[in-house]
Structure 1
Amino acid sequence: MKNSKLSRRTLLRGLGALMALPVLEQMQPSMARAAGPGAAPRRLAVFYVPCGIFMPNWTPKGTGRAWTLSPTLQPLAPVKDDVLVLSGLSHEPGRSEHSGNHASGTGAFLSCAKVHYTDDVAEVRAGVSMDQIAASALRSQTRLPSLELGNDGGDGTGACDDNYSCAYARNISWAGPTSPQAKETNPRAVFDRLFAGFDPDATRAQVERRKAYEQSILDFVSEDARALKQRLGARDKRKLDEYFTSVRELELRVATLDQQSMVCAKGPRPEQTEDVREKTKVMCDLMVLAFQCDLTRVATFMLGNGRSDRVYDFLGLTSGHHRYSHHQNDAENHAALAKIDRWEMEQFSYLLQRMKSVQEGEATLLDNSLVYFGSELADGNSHGHRDMPVVLAGRGGGAVTPGRHVRYTGEPIANLFISMLDSVGVGVSRFGDDGTGPLPLLKE
């Protein structure tokens, strides 16, 4: 049985629980048929940060392969050969004719289509985002069409920036002009959605018994896991053990976050009860596991909502991010922004390193993905939408040649999104308000 082929949709079952599996070598033939001849699955991920970037500390020196990491980009050193820094791209659809550039830029972040401004903030209209175009085309390939995650909650009611709807500032993923894809901000809910779904064939007694025990999902599928291992070769067994370890470690971390939140809730309701440092890493781990299991091929993560004024006290800062972003060329504000930007890049680097650690045949999960890093603005003080801070990580299965710094002269980010969609087999000739074709120079 060791050499028998497995379907990529194989699940472990036990006591009313279902658990997805990582991509195993014995699944490769069926996965290749789904993704194309000889191909592993291709994924798209988005990592959004709010309030722009302090650009003097961002832009690298040198171009092509002869480039050096800037102070803000230093955390990317372990994955320098896996990233493309793209300078000079514009995002003009995000520009507002009013004063709400954070909301307008965030609402248009992935659609490259100008959002609707009106005196009635309940009247929302935006463009369909790049991730949702991919999700719609790939939805038959995975259990979840897409995964939308974030650190900060909040609904879409009211005005969040000038008279722009909060729906624009709090969402980057849009399935339709009036349909933002609400992000999940509870790590435990994300984990349950991905890995702890209930078996529809389970009996009521099995479900109740499972609820009665505070055990790992691994305990409930252990019998099925033992049977599966008898069918696997040595490399797949090792990969399965590594996957089980990752799931268990993540379970414990999610449970710790949940317990901390409950303890805080016993007193007066706090304004903020979660540690953004740990929560961000857990969300990154959840994205990696979702890709690793081929539960979805499209994911977005918002480190904060548009115009976030989070106080990064653990960085020794006492004011909010948005206030610092209006730096007025003050040296102290520049120094504060440099700390925030570098910390954000450390989180992005963590995600990329986790993706690079997952082997998929001769390549890695990162090799088979494209991961877009960006913000709604360039400089937060001037509310600029030209020369945006953009990093594209991964190889997209060969669609991109990373390890370089490429300078453009005002080409729209929409053209980059056309190229990213093409990497997952979704062909579009135009995109958003200003996308006219694939972005050149992504591949040597």
Structure 2
Amino acid sequence: MSRQPLLSRRTLLRGMGALMALPLLEGMRPGVARGAPAPAPRRFAVFYTPCGIHMPKWTPAGVGADWSLTPTLASLAPVKDDVLVLSGLDNLPGRPDGDGHHAAATSAFLSCVKALKTEGSNIRTGISMDQVMANALGKATRFPSLELGIDQGKGIGNCDSGYACPYANNIAWAGPSTPVPKETKPLAAFERLFADFDPNITQAELAKRRAYGLSIIDAVRADAKALEGRLGTTDRRKLDEYFTGVRELELRVNAMEGAGPACGAGVAPVDTLDVREKTKAMMDLIVLAFQCDLTRTCTFMLGNARSQRVYSFLGLSGEHHAYSHHQKAQANYDALAKIDKWEVEQYAYLLQRMKGVQEGEGTLLDHSAVYFSSEVADGNMHEHKNLPILLAGRAGGALSPGRHVQYGDVPLANLYISLLNMFGVPVSTFGDGTGPLTGLDG
């Protein structure tokens, strides 16, 4: 026997021409006969980073629970017991025909299907596992999946030795010829997720609201006050925490885009190309989207294949892709170690934010699986074997983290089969997989 929830999961706050989504509250989840809440939903996030990893400073010493953080993984210390390090998984379909390793491997990153080498419109790879998951689970949420990234990239032409740009710029594929475009502007992603405006509101009215610095929360405040009277203590606390997080993020993304109160001529907006600010904003968007149960599947690209980003804030003057072709030069190794360490720090930030959100009998991270990897291992050799892989969270009890699990010559697709099964998608084959991956549950 179960009782109906106090609130619909699709309840929205309304006011001043704006709609605002709500977090997943206890009052939105049906209870069983004895009053125990229904299990929290499971979420899946992907964190892609380009150009490979300097593996000597990545791979931990020790296996099982007896493993030590390496310099590259040091930022994971607060969440070490929530992380699995998986070694020895291969994505051989990412090998190109001739040159073009980065684009070919990026197209196969979540599909484990070899891409057709072409510079034209006849692109062909495979559906990505996140979209298989979204097709099965997406009807339960407002957005079947969420695709975010830092760099837009070209949509046509050759981006890597004869491989078309969509291969290099996308990891989410709805079908063999249909990449799912990512949103690279934090403000656009924020408003898509949290602020559906009345279609009848004029641009002048919207501009006025922004000019006066009115937030989404200001617009729906009266509706929020009325809702609070219907909530218990736990839900009121969660709602307050959610509003605080939304407002802080709203202020940041408005500043990044130059929106918000008018400050007079000559005041420049914050540099929207700052990868540090954009990445942090995107991580916060993922957390809020999951917390609000707007989606249960999300992918994020820290850069496109063959990223030419210059990490000047790390004291570096060269491009990431150039450093990845290290030619065994110590200076290049040192540069890659700095970049890799910073990338893992962004992943660690996401995990800690998720771990800080209480949800049911645990945290948001406990109910999620958060995957980190790159399209290749060593960027100089373009290795498609023994990829750098982290998998964090407990996926509602299906994962047993806090370990380093060593495999050998096992298809990466086996991991995807297991993840799909964990999320209730009953597949036995995917890509070049041979079956579920053992050892994830302890």
| TM-score range for the pair, normalised by the shorter chain length | over 0.9
TM-aligned CA distance change 1:328 to 1:210, over 3 Å:
closer
The residue type equivalent to 1:158 in the other structure is G
SS of residue paired to 2:410: coil
SS of residue paired to 1:419: helix
Structure 1 match to 2:208: 212
Structure 2 match to 1:10: 11
Q: Give deviations 1:87-143, integer Å, cap 9, x for gaps.
A: 01101010113110000000110000000013x433211100000111111121011
Q: Give deviations 1:237-266, integer Å, cap 9, x for gaps.
A: 1110010000000000001111299x9xx9
- 1:95 and 2:95 matched: yes
Structure 1 segment 306-321 matched on structure 2, within 5 A: 306-321=305-320
- Identity within the alignment, %: 62
The residue type equivalent to 2:402 in the other structure is G
CA drift at 1:173: 0.3
The residue type equivalent to 1:66 in the other structure is D
SS of residue paired to 2:20: strand
CA drift at 1:210: 4.9
Structure 1 match to 2:29: 28
Contact 1:49-1:304 at 8 Å conserved across structures: yes
SS of residue paired to 1:89: strand
Measure the CA separation in 1 of the matches of 2:11 and 2:421: 28
Structure 1 match to 2:141: 142
Structure 2 match to 1:168: 167
TM-score where L is the length of structure 1? 0.92
Structure 1 match to 2:104: 104
Of 423, 433, 437, which residue of structure 2 is paired with 1:439? 437
TM-aligned CA distance change 1:227 to 1:168, over 3 Å:
same
Measure the CA separation in 1 of the matches of 2:421 and 2:250: 35
The residue type equivalent to 1:436 in the other structure is T
Structure 2 match to 1:366: 365
The residue type equivalent to 1:88 in the other structure is G
Structure 1 segment 182-197 matched on structure 2, within 5 A: 182-197=181-196
The residue type equivalent to 1:79 in the other structure is V
Contact 1:24-1:239 at 8 Å conserved across structures: yes
Greater displacement, 287-296 / 154-163 = 154-163
The residue type equivalent to 2:88 in the other structure is G
CA drift at 1:155: 3.3
The residue type equivalent to 2:132 in the other structure is I
Structure 1 segment 118-267 matched on structure 2, within 5 A: 118=118, 120-199=119-198, 204=201, 209-214=205-210, 215-259=214-258
CA drift at 1:208: 6.0
Measure the CA separation in 2 of the matches of 1:394 and 1:423: 12
Contact 2:97-2:117 at 8 Å conserved across structures: no
TM-aligned CA distance change 1:416 to 1:4, over 3 Å:
closer
SS of residue paired to 2:299: strand
The residue type equivalent to 1:141 in the other structure is A
Structure 2 match to 1:115: 115
Q: Give deviations 1:267-310, integer Å, cap 9, x for gaps.
A: 9xxxx951000100000000110111000011000000011011
**Number of residue-to-residue matches in the alignment:** 426
Q: Give deviations 1:186-227, integer Å, cap 9, x for gaps.
A: 100000100110246xx658x864552221000111111001
Contact 1:156-1:168 at 8 Å conserved across structures: no
Contact 1:150-1:184 at 8 Å conserved across structures: yes
Q: Give deviations 1:8-66, integer Å, cap 9, x for gaps.
A: 11111112211111111111217x99xxx932111110000000000000000000000
TM-aligned CA distance change 1:163 to 1:110, over 3 Å:
same
Contact 1:129-1:173 at 8 Å conserved across structures: yes
TM-aligned CA distance change 1:19 to 1:436, over 3 Å:
same
> Structure 2 stretches of 5 or more lacking a match?
none
TM-aligned CA distance change 1:384 to 1:4, over 3 Å:
closer
SS of residue paired to 1:409: strand
Structure 1 match to 2:43: 43
CA drift at 1:69: 0.6
- 1:326 and 2:322 matched: no
TM-score where L is the length of structure 2? 0.93
SS of residue paired to 1:23: coil
SS of residue paired to 1:338: helix
Contact 2:253-2:281 at 8 Å conserved across structures: yes
Measure the CA separation in 2 of the matches of 1:7 and 1:110: 33
Structure 1 segment 380-399 matched on structure 2, within 5 A: 380-399=379-398
SS of residue paired to 1:411: strand
Contact 2:23-2:242 at 8 Å conserved across structures: yes
The residue type equivalent to 2:104 in the other structure is S
TM-aligned CA distance change 1:437 to 1:216, over 3 Å:
same
The residue type equivalent to 2:208 in the other structure is A
Contact 2:15-2:220 at 8 Å conserved across structures: yes
CA drift at 1:156: 2.3
Structure 2 match to 1:56: 56
Structure 1 segment 280-319 matched on structure 2, within 5 A: 280-319=279-318
Contact 1:15-1:210 at 8 Å conserved across structures: no
Measure the CA separation in 2 of the matches of 1:418 and 1:401: 17
Measure the CA separation in 2 of the matches of 1:67 and 1:154: 38
Contact 1:115-1:125 at 8 Å conserved across structures: yes
The residue type equivalent to 1:27 in the other structure is M
Contact 1:13-1:199 at 8 Å conserved across structures: no
The residue type equivalent to 1:213 in the other structure is R
RMSD: 2.1
Measure the CA separation in 2 of the matches of 1:148 and 1:380: 25
> Structure 1 stretches of 5 or more lacking a match?
none
CA drift at 1:422: 1.4
Measure the CA separation in 1 of the matches of 2:130 and 2:116: 20
